[in-house]
Amino acid sequence: MITKKDTAISLFFLIAGFACYTYTLAPSLLDGDSALFQYTPYILGVPYPTGFPVYILLSKLWLMLFPVGEIAWRMNLVSAMCASLVLPIFYNLSRRTYEYRLPAITSTLMLATLPTYWRWATVSKHYTLNMFIFVIILWLGTAKPTRYYLHGAMLLVGLQLGVHNTTLLLIPGMALLFLFNNNSGGVRKSHLLTLTLCLTIPLLSYLYIPLRGEWLITQHGYDMAIGHGLLTDFYSSGLHGLIRYFTAADFMQGLTTNWRHVPYNFINVYLLDLLEQDFTRWGVIWGIIGGLIFAMWKPKQFMPFFLIYAIPIPFVLTYNRGEQLAFLLTSNLAFCMFIGASIAPISEFLNRRPKKTLHAKIAIPMLTIGLFLLTLILPYQQTIHNIVWLKSKWKMATYNYWTDILSHPFPEEYGASKLALTGIMATWGDLTSMWYMQHVENLQPSLIGIYPPTEEIAHAWFVEHDSLFIAGPTLDNWQTDVETRYHVIPWGRLVRLSPITTEVIMPRFGQPHTAIFGQRLRLENIDFNSHVDSGGTLYVYSSWQSLTDLPELTRYSLRLTKGDTIISQKDDTLLSGWFPLNYIPKNQFLVGAYPLHIAVGTLPGTYQLQLAIYAQEGDEWKLADGKPILNLGQIDVRFSAATTSPSPLRFNGEISLDDVEFSVSRARQGKGFAVRLLWQALKPLQDNYTLHVELVDENGHVWRDWYEPTETSTWQANQHVRQHINIIVPAVAPTHDDSLQIQVSWLRPDGSQLDRHYWFIPVGKKIDIGSPIILPKAKRTFIIPAMENNLRINFANQARLIGYSMPHAINSPAEELPLILYWQGLDDMREVYTVFVHVIDEDGNIVAQHDGIHANGKEPTTSWATGEYITDHVTIPLSTAYHSLMRKEMRSVIRWKLELLL
């Protein structure tokens, strides 16, 4: 009997499931099938067999009724909603079957945390809708029979068949469940017609496929509909084509050839791989034991669930395509029932024990709680795994990649005369993402997707067209020496192909800007907008020609600067990753499409756009005037109002703290890191405030603080402003978890602090923003080292040079002078000092030198604890100075210079 407690538990599963699935929800565009189902309902396209018409039509209705957010995100949200709704229904189904709450909770927790189930709850596809309808059918199958409950079940079966036709495999188990639950002895003949109608009406949704398919062919043509992702290439007009489509004949070869491998694959593929991936080894053992207990305890209830579990497995093993675990979701649901059944007899035993004595009243609840905690172990581990896995898996990478590609210059944009159509060749799974961007974001809607990415398909394309762009490692699978058969031009992230017999067509951008870098690479022309919004992306287009063979990793560095400060920078290779050669040959043409992202909060103003080329970092190729940097022109960064709501973390109703980033997740004692703060002005500010940053331990002790005067009076209402603060961790800062916190506050010109609010509630003066994990400095020593020469030279009571070691003779010009300096820290140092070591001759001339932070930057002075000894190995090259040192006295001079590095 379902009680108020069961209702509360059901509500908990619904809310908790939705919270977990939306927390790990894919935020935007994906690829492959997921991208296909992110845009197909929006445009009412026709996907691959068997069409999934109920899913397409219901998703279209959802998009119309819920017009909030990006299309891709809204389609992902459908899966999260369906997966969440499954849980309370499955709990009540299990509760009816077992009669006890604990096994029902266990089964539901196992299903909710299955990695495959959770994964498909976060992306767009029909699996969770299929599970939602399926679990309602099972719930009806265990409900008390009413006059029309079979009609409802048949209607739902028809809907489920319209979502996925593998429902056919589940019908025997569902039918047996209803048969055992129907005490009336059968179905009345008068109901057969209405039951048939209830099953048939949802199946009429399959008429959508030919009706929509033929309309798309009429409007766009067959090839164009396929090339724009509107229609699958598995669709063919006519009765024969529709039969092949609805039976998925092109996917079914394995069903006729792989049956003999089922016994072997059941053990080695299913039990030892697929099932273990979702349940872990202990979960598999638990489920098998539970299934045996279920069969002996309630054989009548066991049989329908066993059929639901068992029948899909041979199909999946012989079909051997796509996401096998996704096809096994319904089977795994039944396996979760087995796991719950394993503790049902224990629950029955505990509930039937008399509770008359005090010991019984205490012991039975305690045993129940203990059993419940044991059953939580595996779901808890699965939950942690799923959150870590999916939060790292789902990013904006696909959306950003195709936004970048579709912002490239394409032939029609620069007036190529012969090219009527432009094609992009890639795998089908990559092209679905491009089609989404075309149909939803309206980016480059005229581009044609070409697949499969074979040379035969490319050759057929070139019969009527002059040019083809390659997106992906397509050319790796073609015959070698592609460059001898085609003009191959790196084109931003793409590669452009054209027949070797045609003329090379290079874009003529709006700003001819010829420059030669290092006598190796010529810039022909360049184009970019003269303005960009704060938080936007500036695209810089360029054309190049190599003057000699160049390394594969030749890089460009595009920079937006203000004086000597780099505001934004983009460094990447000139060469597309899909270019077939591992170098840039002489006279090679290249086209660059460089996205320079302007960080949200960059202050409006005029900035300088600069370009450098290098093969090794720090060794930029010189221009004709000897400079390594080419000034391309000025860029106006314009004010852009914040597009996000202000954070509830606010100061005096004037400034909100919207985002915090740390440059590292871990920092060692004495090392530095950057804090990036994103502020939003809630209204125009009248005064210039000073940001106060404090590094505080758990006892409230301030280890360091920094003051950053800020021209806040220039901030406009709703403007984002990004601020960078460089933090140096004290040398002896505490190192356990959460040992230090960074606190920020704002000071008025008179030194008073602004009040901090959470929304409109005053909550103090400062905001804790956390900090990276502080790690101890490695190999710290307070034992004086052995040295050849002792000294006691004190540098401003900050550090002492206590000695050095060096060779007594130099034997050849090729040698270097190895010098070891020994230091001792005398006080806590807040700055990073650079040590200058000069080798001078007897006349006082500097003939060699070494400048740098101690131990090649590994021992900055900020990491020196009071009393700590530091060994600093210095190598001074002497090859150019050797002859001037011959027969002269050589001395080392140690000099110090203060330099703030961060």
What does the pLDDT average to over 385-413? 89
The end-to-end CA distance of the chain, in Å, is 68
41 in a structural domain: yes
Same domain, 653 and 734: yes
393 in a structural domain: no
pLDDT of the residue at 899: 32
Same domain, 764 and 888: no
What is d(CA 227, CA 241) in angstroms, rounded to the nearest whole number? Answer: 19
Same domain, 454 and 480: yes
* CATH code where residue 682 lies: 2.60.40.770
What is d(CA 461, CA 444) in angstroms, rounded to the nearest whole number? Answer: 19
Same domain, 476 and 518: no
Cβ-count burial of 574 within 10 angstroms (0-12 exposed, 13-18 middle, 19+ buried)?
buried
686 in a structural domain: yes
Domain count along the chain: 5
Same domain, 322 and 207: yes
pLDDT of the residue at 364: 67
pLDDT of the residue at 16: 97
Q: Whose CA is closest to 901, among 839, 829, 828, 802?
A: 829
* C-beta of residue 169 within 8 angstroms of C-beta of residue 124: no
Same domain, 243 and 358: yes
Among 327, 356, 372, give the residue marking a domain's end: 372
Look at residue 725 and give its three-state secondary structure. Answer: strand
767 in a structural domain: yes
383 in a structural domain: no
Phi and psi for 293 in degrees, rounded to 5?
-65, -45
Cβ-count burial of 624 within 10 angstroms (0-12 exposed, 13-18 middle, 19+ buried)?
exposed
Among 499, 534, 558, give the residue marking a domain's end: 499
Residue numbers of the domain that contains 883 = 789-898
* CATH code where residue 824 lies: 2.60.40
User: pLDDT tens-digit profile of 782-834?
Assistant: 999 999 889 889 998 999 999 998 887 766 655 778 889 999 999 988 888 88
Residue 517 in this model has a pLDDT that exceeds 90: yes
597 in a structural domain: yes
Same domain, 518 and 610: yes
581 in a structural domain: yes
What is d(CA 538, CA 546) in angstroms, rounded to the nearest whole number? Answer: 25
What is d(CA 375, CA 603) in angstroms, rounded to the nearest whole number? Answer: 55
Same domain, 631 and 734: no
Cβ-count burial of 510 within 10 angstroms (0-12 exposed, 13-18 middle, 19+ buried)?
exposed
pLDDT of the residue at 420: 57
- Among 17-26, 262-271, 354-363, 447-456, whose mean pLDDT is lowest? 354-363
388 in a structural domain: no
Six token digits for residue 315: 């199909």
Residue 282 in this model has a pLDDT that exceeds 60: yes
Same domain, 202 and 348: yes
Read off the pLDDT band of 532 (50, 70, 90): very high
User: pLDDT tens-digit profile of 557-590?
Assistant: 999 999 988 999 999 999 988 999 999 999 999 9
Same domain, 79 and 206: yes
What does the pLDDT average to over 253-272? 82
Same domain, 348 and 231: yes
Same domain, 856 and 762: no
Among 743, 775, 807, give the residue marking a domain's end: 775
User: pLDDT tens-digit profile of 862-902?
Assistant: 889 999 999 998 888 876 555 555 545 545 555 444 332 22
What does the pLDDT average to over 660-664? 88
Pairwise pLDDT comparison (261 vs 332), residue with the higher score: 332
Residue 762 in this model has a pLDDT that exceeds 50: yes
* CATH code where residue 620 lies: 2.70.50.60
Q: Whose CA is closest to 98, among 336, 344, 302, 295?
A: 344
pLDDT of the residue at 736: 75
Q: Whose CA is closest to 432, among 414, 409, 408, 449?
A: 449
What is d(CA 721, CA 877) in angstroms, rounded to the nearest whole number? Answer: 46
